[in-house]
Amino acid sequence: MTTGTRVEILDRTSCAAGAGDASATGGSGAASERNGLRVAALAAAVGVSPDTVRYYERAGLLHPPERTPTGYRVYGAAAVDRLRFIRGCQRLGLRLREIADLLAVRDTGVCPCEPAEQLLRRRIAEVDVELARLTALRAEMAEMAEKLPTAACPPPEPGRWCPPDGDGR
């Protein structure tokens, strides 16, 4: 994500857009069939697979859409915004249950910026812990690499760095 004045999932104008909007479920009636998006089109618009769209629906992140008489799902334009919000949250490392909480706030018509800030600060702390763990792992690996023999070392056996000692171990 680029730095700047607009943060995709926290932008106050996009927070209100579609919040609590019934069109997020696919719109209504015949107009929805003409103007709505089927699963593949919705998925392509957001850059996910149709299975991902169906999974988000089963997980409760997407409202169940209307169906055509033949059973096809038909999503309204607000579903694109909702999926982009979900994907933006995922890029930031938020878990689906946390995203569901933000969507629940968003669906009331209130911008979820305050709970999002709390979640992001918690996620930053988790990332800091993981970075410290990875930094320690890197230092350990660098130390091991420095201690490896530099002379012509025969190809290692599976699961070993070097061939066994003279006594077969």
Model confidence over 52-104: pLDDT tens digits? 999 999 999 999 999 999 999 999 989 999 999 999 999 999 999 999 999 99
- Does 3 score more than 50 pLDDT? no
Domains and CATH numbers, the chain: 12-125 (1.10.1660.10)
Q: Which of 33-47, 51-65, 105-119, 153-167 has the lowest mean pLDDT?
A: 153-167
Q: From residue 147, give the alpha-carbon distance in Å to each of 119, 144, 150, 161.
A: 42, 5, 9, 11
Residue 155 has a pLDDT of 67
pTM: 0.66
- Does 137 score more than 60 pLDDT? yes
Contact indicator for 42, 96 with CB cutoff of 8 Å = no
Model confidence band, residue 50 (pLDDT cutoffs 50, 70, 90): very high
- Give me the chain's average pLDDT, please: 79
In 3D, which of 118, 77, 78 has the Cα closest to residue 101?
118
Instruction: Name residue 95's amino acid.
Output: R
The pair phi, psi for residue 37, each rounded to 5°, is -115, 135
3-state SS assignment for residue 95:
coil
Contact indicator for 78, 27 with CB cutoff of 8 Å = no
